[in-house]
Structures are given as structure tokens and as C-alpha cells.
């Protein structure tokens, strides 16, 4: 059961999970989750069933704001991020050089980089190169946003298949997205008995105080061999996926990380608390630009997420004391 609710800031949605946990979610101007009282007041039940109320006063006094699963995991140090940022910066400078926007200047004794159009042959500086990278959309932020758009496109294709049964046509996607869609199709081809149960499932844990939305619940009716690991030297490693109920999340990242496994176990905990049947296992469906996939079963437990949640809660408490 759900209804659009006008918050005064944006239009959010109230959904009630199968176990009766009411969850409010808004995406703008910031992503926000609130968990409400259980059972819901009669007036709100009427509002959800009939029409949206004018305000959200009852969503401030009796409802508590909770973090999303991804917000909680954001406190973890991303060790690969500085290295990734450095590589993006180097690739951006190389792109400027290869396109002629940067070139070598000076004399044989003293060489340096200068910008195209600088008729005085002035030396390029850190600030001037950053400005050029920004102008030509080659900064870390631009690359990150582009990756986010790519990920959203593939997620939309996955959700559309789960809701309609129609598989996406890779030929209609831009070059930078096509391979990821092909990876999704490769997984679906390897698991022909797959049956989507629900997509974009909103769940919440009233006990532990967090909420989130995961990509899919699905069931397989027959055993299937799926790729669980792929390396340049050894190629694909297959393992048997047994029939059963699974919780899955799609990733278009460079790899599969421990935070992904923690994320899935948090979703499972909240999913069961929200009234959904426990799953046999959780899996990360990692699709890559070359049209391949890996389906990696979670190797975490809920305790692995809970300790990170405790750190996030400690950080919030310290901010309030500061």
C-alpha cells in the first residue's frame, strides 16, 4: 500500500511493508527515509487509501528519520577511491594532449605544457589544466556522474525486465552502456528458469533504525551454472546456482567489494523484518563493459553491517556534541 504525499519540500511516497512498517521516502531535495508508528493512525490510513493530505505534520512528530543502507556504508574508507581519482586525472590530461588542447612548449632545454590558443606560449598551471578538464567534462565529478547515469540506465533495464518480462535490446543503448546491458542478458541467458518476484523493494528495520531499497527478489526453479568469478588469466569460473529464493542487487562498478556484501545482508535483515520471506542466499550481479557478468554470493553476515551502523550512529552523536 502506498501513496504520494506532499511534504512542502518535494513529493514523497508512503509505503506500508507487509509486516505493517510504514516508510516515507523522498528523493529531492535530499534523499530521506522516515519510519512511522505501527499501527498507523486511522487518518493516515484513510489518506493513503483515498487521497494525499496537504501536509506532513504527522510525519515529523511521530516519525523518525533513519539512514539508508548506502548512507551507513558511506562511513567506510574507500581505499581504491584516491587511486581511481588519480587515474581519472591522468586520463583527462592525456585526452587533452591527444586532442591537441595541450601541447609541448618552450625550448629544447626547457620544455613544458601549454594550452592551445595561448599565442604567448605560456606555461600551463595546475589551475589552468583543471579549468580545461572542467570545460571539457573530464574531471572526476564528470566521470562519476557519467558512471551514475550508466548505472541508472542498466538498473532501469533490469527493473523493466522484472516488471514486464521484456529483455532489453542492447542496440538501442549508447556505446558506453551497451556492454553492461549485454552482461545483464548473459546472466538471464544462463539462468533460464529465473522468475522475478518483486523489483525495487522498499524495506525498513524499525529495530535497528535504517531503510533502503534493493533491486530484485527472484526465484529459480532449476539448477544453473553461473559465472562467479572472472579474471584475465583464468577466464570464467562457474558454480552451480541451486533452485530457491534469492535477493539480488545489480552493480556496474569496477569490481565486487565487501561493502556490497554488507549491503545485501542489511537488506535481508530489513526485508525479513518488513514481512518478506527469508531468502536462501543473497547475490551481487556485477555486469561489466565487455558484456560479461559475475554473480557473487554474499559472504557477509548482518553483524558485519551492524558494526558499521554503530560507527555511523557514533559519528552522528559526535556531530551533535561538537
Measured distance CA(309)–CA(184) in Å, rounded: 31
Contact at 8 Å (CB) between 28 and 8? no
Task: Determine the 3-state secondary structure of 180 from DSSP.
Answer: helix
CA-atom Rg of the chain in angstroms: 24
Nearest to 178 by CA among 75, 285, 291, 306: 291
Q: Describe the crossing of helices 80-98 and 126-135 by its angle, rounded to 10 degrees.
A: 80
Measured distance CA(201)–CA(249) in Å, rounded: 11
Burial of 322 (0-12, 13-18, 19+ CB in 10 A): exposed
Summarised one tens digit per residue, pLDDT across range 56-78 is 444 556 788 999 999 999 987 66
**pLDDT confidence of residue 233:** 86
Tell me the domains of the chain and their CATH numbers: 2-66 (no CATH), 72-78+151-321 (3.90.320), 82-141 (no CATH)
**pLDDT confidence of residue 176:** 87
Summarised one tens digit per residue, pLDDT across range 117-162 is 665 557 777 888 787 777 777 776 656 556 545 568 889 999 999 9
Q: Is the pLDDT of residue 248 over 90?
A: yes
pTM across the whole model: 0.78
Measured distance CA(194)–CA(189) in Å, rounded: 9
Amino acid at each position: 500500500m502506498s501513496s504520494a504525499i506532499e511534504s512542502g519540500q518535494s513529493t514523497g511516497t508512503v509505503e506500508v511493508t507487509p509486516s505493517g512498517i510504514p516508510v516515507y521516502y523522498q528523493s529531492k531535495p535530499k534523499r530521506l527515509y522516515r519510519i512511522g508508528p505501527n499501527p498507523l493512525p486511522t487518518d493516515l490510513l484513510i489518506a493513503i487509501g483515498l487521497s494525499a493530505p496537504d501536509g506532513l505534520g504527522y510525519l515529523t512528530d511521530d516519525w523518525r528519520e533513519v539512514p539508508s543502507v548506502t548512507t551507513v556504508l558511506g562511513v567506510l574508507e574507500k581505499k581504491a577511491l584516491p587511486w581511481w581519482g588519480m587515474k581519472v586525472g591522468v586520463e583527462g590530461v592525456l585526452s587533452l594532449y591527444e586532442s591537441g588542447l595541450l601541447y609541448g612548449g618552450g625550448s629544447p632545454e626547457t620544455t613544458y605544457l601549454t594550452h592551445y590558443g595561448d599565442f604567448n606560449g605560456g606555461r600551463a598551471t595546475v589551475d589552468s589544466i583543471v579549468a580545461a578538464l572542467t570545460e571539457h567534462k573530464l574531471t572526476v565529478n564528470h566521470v562519476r556522474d557519467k558512471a551514475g547515469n550508466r548505472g541508472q540506465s542498466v538498473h532501469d533495464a533490469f527493473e523493466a525486465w522484472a516488471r514486464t518480462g521484456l529483455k532489453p535490446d542492447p542496440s538501442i543503448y549508447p556505446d558506453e552502456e551497451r556492454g553492461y546491458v549485454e552482461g545483464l542478458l548473459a546472466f538471464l541467458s544462463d539462468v533460464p528458469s529465473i522468475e522475478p518476484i518483486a523489483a525495487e523493494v522498499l524495506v525498513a528495520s524499525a529495530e535497528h533504525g535504517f531503510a533502503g531499497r534493493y533491486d530484485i527478489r527472484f526465484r529459480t526453479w532449476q539448477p544453473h551454472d553461473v559465472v562467479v568469478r572472472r579474471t584475465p588469466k583464468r577466464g570464467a569460473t562457474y558454480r552451480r546456482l541451486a533452485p530457491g529464493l534469492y535477493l539480488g542487487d545489480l552493480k556496474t562498478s569496477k569490481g565486487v567489494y565487501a561493502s556490497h556484501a554488507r549491503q545485501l545482508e542489511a537488506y535481508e535483515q530489513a526485508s525479513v523484518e518488513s514481512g518478506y520471506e527469508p531468502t536462501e542466499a543473497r547475490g551481487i550481479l556485477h555486469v561489466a563493459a565487455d558484456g560479461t557478468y559475475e554473480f557473487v554470493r554474499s559472504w557477509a553476515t548482518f553483524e558485519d553491517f551492524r558494526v558499521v551502523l554503530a560507527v555511523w550512529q557514533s559519528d552522528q552523536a559526535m556531530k551533535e556534541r561538537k
